[in-house]
Structure 1
Amino acid sequence: MGTHLITGAGSGIGTAVAERLAERGDELWLVARDAGRAKQLADRFPGSRTLVGDLSTPDRLSWAMSKQQVPDRLDSLLHIAGVVELGRIGELTPKAWNATLAANLVSPAELTRLFLPQLRVAQGHVVFVNSGAGLRASAEWGAYAASKHGLKALADSLRWEEGGNGVRVTSVHPGRTATPMQVKVHQQEGKEYDPAAWMAPESVATTILMALDLPRDAEVTDLSVRPSG
């Protein structure tokens, strides 16, 4: 049985991954932005543990984690939470940039720093759920793509730094997936949303578990998955 710390377990891909891990009896530690959300996650995943930490304020994560019981070992740290705010570069404000970078890049970096000792103990696995936007940027996706390009750089550097400690690092780059984030994107794009047109979160979860379950003599470094058809 593995021990996993997950951000973003409240919806979309994060929920699908947490469900799969819970079904096979693994131990879950779920990060929630506040106490109310933590209770919802605990009710949704009986037997799981919750940690309260707001990814919008990465400079407070160290303090928040120091006030709570945390796992003493981790087989994986799964960075799945994220935010998106579309807009042209000439219109995006520092507030939009800072909010996007805080949640999508700085908080994953900080949580990784905080939990590296537990990952080293278990020779664990850090998974960054990135995006196709982490490989290429399009008009009006500048802030989001910048955060995801940075997330890939974070993963690549971490892999070089921690490989000698037995820590594996994987970036997963999903295409458009039928999640609440996708609903927001379509609203910002002014387009009608049809979830059947995109990948199910469960499909992305399958790719993540494949990377986690790979034998110890191999490592998936980068994995892209796209809607078929």
Structure 2
Amino acid sequence: MATHLVTGAGSGIGAAVADRLHARGDRLLLVARNEERAAQLGSRYPGATTLVADLADAAAVTALELPDRLDSVLHVAGVVDLAPVSDLEPAQLREQLDVNLVAPLLLTRQALPAVRGARGLVLFVNSSAGLVASAGWSAYAASKFGLRAAADALRAEELPHGVRVSTVFPSRTATPMQQKVHEQEGGVYDASRWIRPETVADTILHVLDLPADATIPEVTVRPLVQRPGT
């Protein structure tokens, strides 16, 4: 039975990934930001282990106790708060950098001995904003550009240990985060226009289940519907 450490399983892409893995009988370790969310995850995924840590708290992340073997670490959690640089509050910047960039690096460091033992996978769910930054997206895009760089460095470092490192770049996906983005942009949210979370989850599982003779360093997932103004 494969064992996977997953962040962001409470909703959106993370929930879709956890649904897929739980349904096929894999063992799940799910990081929850508080005890209430941990209880919700425990109820939704019977048999899963929940680990409580606010990803914005570096000390809490580094205090997590992990098993001796992990077949994958799937970094799906993320936060977004749009603002132009002229209006960007320090707390907005700090939270997005901490959750989207610092926490994945610290959690990966904690998990590496276990992933090395399994010759497993570290996968980062990034964003199209990690490839191109638009107005209002400075803090979020900076965190995601940094995450791509971290993944590139980790991939080169862990090659001798047989650890695969992949980044998935989903474009706009029908999640609660996307609904918040539309509200901040002043647009009307229509989930039917965007990628289904399950589609991104299928992409992640394809990367995860790739035979040991190959790796997919990066994959981009985009909706077929054209965005207004493009």
**What range describes the TM-score normalised by the shorter chain of this pair?**
over 0.9
**1:185 Cα deviation after fit:** 0.3
TM-score normalised by structure 2 residue count: 0.96
Q: Is residue 125 of structure 2 the alignment partner of residue 129 of structure 1?
A: yes
Percent sequence identity is 58
SS at structure 2 position matched to 1:99: helix
Corresponding residue of 1:152: 148
| Structure 2 segments unaligned to the other structure (5+ residues) | 226-230
TM-score w.r.t. the length of structure 1 is 0.97
1:26 and 2:22 matched: no
How far apart are residue 228 of structure 1 and its match? 1.2
Matches within 5 A, 1:207-222: 207-222=203-218
Aligned to 1:48: 48
Per-residue displacement from partner, 1:131-190 (whole Å, max 9, x unpaired)? 000011000001000000000001000000011101000000001000000010011011
Partner AA of 1:139 in structure 2: A
Deviation, structure 1 residue 95 = 1.2
In structure 1, what is the Cα distance between the partners aligned to 2:42 and 2:67?
A: 16
Match of 1:193 in 2: 189
Which residue does the alignment assign to 1:171? 167
Q: 1:182 aligns with which of 162, 178, 181?
A: 178
1:59, distance to aligned residue in structure 2 (A): 3.1
**Does residue 72 in structure 1 map to residue 93 in structure 2?**
no
Gaps in structure 1 of 5+ consecutive residues: none
The root-mean-square deviation of aligned C-alpha atoms, in Å, is 0.8
1:11 corresponding residue in structure 2:
11
Counterpart amino acid of residue 27 in structure 1: R
String of CA shifts for 1:8-39, please: whole Å, max 9, x gaps: 00000000000101111100000001111111
- How many residues align structurally? 225
